[in-house]
């Protein structure tokens, strides 16, 4: 069975947030006070409840699950949760998005439990700037986590770098060099107008075409587009000639990729979000806690796909923000 949305897109990828909390408070992601500081743990789905939902999705054709947060490794028991869903027949890949602060502690256990690979958020290689962007993060701890992940065999490993004009755009070349040195993929991400934190920084938006021009000038050769679809996700990927590294650019704002969207998102509180840039969502926590059967849960999910929108409107949102800023400045 396959999950098909109203626009004939096959949905085979589920992103699962297991916590909204994070030990970092990156300026483009979270308000300074953090996420839900007064939230109660009972709001979160238990790992058993998450597994029940994931099992229904896998029966419906989901082959890839990505565990996210917040920072997922601040929640206890993640290796055990990975081992739990690793047993699901039909699930082909389990990935993790992390800031890597705790990865040196958990990398071996995660790999042994069945984790395949991880994406690491890292926006600068300068310790002081890293501390500023993350509001207190420790770059040395993150780099230790990177090395531990590589040693444990979590691959392909990817770096996610959110490019902010005037903050870290001067480090595009340094990040490329680091990717070549470590033989990993570095993905440069445009700021997206999501939440108050993201919207407040849209004046620092740095578009894909400028990022690629900078990279081409730095490596001194044309970038070679990849043809592989595995692990690509929304990124446009390129090989760097003469190296084992890849470059990716995620351009959700300047060049959206909605026509190829294959994913939905489950929040830590059981809300199934059908589009990151829209408000379409379905509550799955209530039916799960009311004792819905496996087949009934699958039916709810299938019907939910009918509400998945054709696309987001990030680009329009950016233009609206730019217009409002221009008006406020008397433009």
Task: Tell me the C-alpha distance between 113 and 94, whole Å.
Answer: 10
When pLDDT is averaged across residues 192-200 and rounded to a whole number, the result is 62
Q: Percentage of residues in the chain with pLDDT exceeding 90?
A: 64
**Over the stretch 210-235, which tens digit does the pLDDT of each residue have?**
999 999 999 988 788 887 665 556 77
List, for residues 253-273, the tens digit of each pLDDT value: 555 557 778 899 999 999 999
- pLDDT bin (cut points 50, 70, 90) of residue 320 is very low
Segment 204-215 shows an average pLDDT of 92
57 has pLDDT over 90: yes
Query: Given this model, what pLDDT does residue 36 score?
Result: 55
CATH 3.10.180.10 fits 3-328, yes or no: no
DSSP collapsed to 3 states, the chain: CCEECCCCCEECEEEEECCCCCCCCCCCCCCCCCCCCCCCHHHCCCHHHHHHHHHHHHHCCCCEEEEECCCHHHCCCHHHHHHHHHCCCCCCEEEEEECCCCHHHHHHHHHHHCCCEEEEECCCCCHHHHHHHHCCCCHHHHHHHHHHHHHHCCCCCEEEEEEECCCCHHHHHHHHHHHHHHCCEEEEEECCCCHHHHHHCHHHECCHHHHHHHHHHHHCCCCEECCCCCCCCCCEEEECCCCCCEEEEECCCCCCCHHHCCEEEECCCCEEECCCCCCCEEECHHHHHCCCCHHHHHHHHHHHHHHCCCCCCHHHHHHHHHHHHHHHCCC
Phi then psi dihedrals of residue 270, to 5 deg = 90, 20
**Predicted pLDDT of residue 226:** 87
**Where exactly are the structural domains of the chain?**
3-328
274-288 residue pLDDT tens: 986 656 799 999 999
Mean pLDDT of 228-252: 78
pLDDT tens figures, 5-52:
998 999 999 999 999 999 999 988 877 766 554 455 679 999 999 999
Maximum C-alpha span of the chain: 60
pLDDT tens, position by position, 112-166: 999 999 999 999 999 999 999 999 999 999 999 999 999 999 999 999 999 999 9
pLDDT, tens only, 292-318:
999 999 999 999 999 888 765 545 444
Report the pLDDT averaged over residues 56-62: 98
Q: Are 246 and 239 in contact (CB under 8 A)?
A: yes
Instruction: Summarize the confidence of residues 80-89 as an average pLDDT.
Output: 98
CA-to-CA distance for 28 and 253, rounded, in angstroms?
Answer: 15
Confidence of residue 329 (pLDDT cuts 50, 70, 90): very low
How far apart are alpha carbons 172 and 187 in whole angstroms?
10
For the chain, give the mean pLDDT. 87
User: Which residues sit opposite 216 in a β-bridge?
Assistant: none
């Amino acid at each position: 069975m396959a999950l098909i949305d109203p626009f004939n897109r096959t949905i085979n990828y589920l992103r699962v947030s297991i916590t909204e909390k994070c030990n970092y408070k990156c300026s483009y992601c979270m308000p300074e006070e953090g996420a839900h500081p007064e939230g109660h743990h009972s709001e979160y789905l238990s790992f058993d409840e998450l597994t029940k939902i994931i099992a229904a999705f896998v029966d419906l054709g989901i082959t890839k699950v990505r565990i996210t947060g917040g920072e997922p490794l601040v929640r206890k028991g993640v290796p055990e949760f990975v081992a739990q869903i690793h047993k699901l027949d039909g699930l082909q890949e389990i990935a993790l998005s992390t800031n890597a602060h705790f990865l040196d502690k958990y990398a071996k256990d995660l790999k042994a439990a069945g984790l395949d690979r991880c994406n690491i958020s890292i926006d600068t290689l300068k310790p002081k700037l890293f501390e500023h962007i993350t509001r207190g993060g420790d770059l040395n701890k993150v780099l230790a986590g990177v090395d531990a992940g590589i040693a444990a065999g979590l691959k392909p490993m990817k770096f996610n770098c959110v490019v902010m004009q005037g903050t870290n755009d001067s480090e595009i070349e340094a990040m490329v060099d680091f990717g070549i040195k470590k033989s990993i993929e570095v993905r440069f991400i445009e700021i997206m107008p999501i939440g108050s934190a993201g919207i407040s920084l849209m004046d620092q938006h740095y578009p894909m075409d400028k990022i690629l021009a900078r990279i081409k000038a730095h490596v001194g050769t044309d970038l070679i587009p990849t043809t592989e679809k595995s692990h690509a996700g929304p990124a446009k990927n390129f090989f760097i000639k003469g190296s084992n590294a890849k470059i990716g650019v995620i351009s959700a704002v300047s060049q959206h990729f909605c026509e190829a969207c294959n994913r939905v998102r489950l929040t830590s509180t059981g809300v199934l979000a059908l589009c990151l840039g829209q408000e379409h969502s379905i509550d799955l926590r209530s039916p799960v806690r009311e004792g819905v059967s496996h087949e009934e849960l699958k039916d709810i999910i299938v019907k939910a796909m009918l509400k998945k929108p054709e696309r987001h409107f990030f680009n329009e949102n950016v233009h609206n923000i730019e217009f409002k800023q221009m008006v406020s400045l008397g433009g």
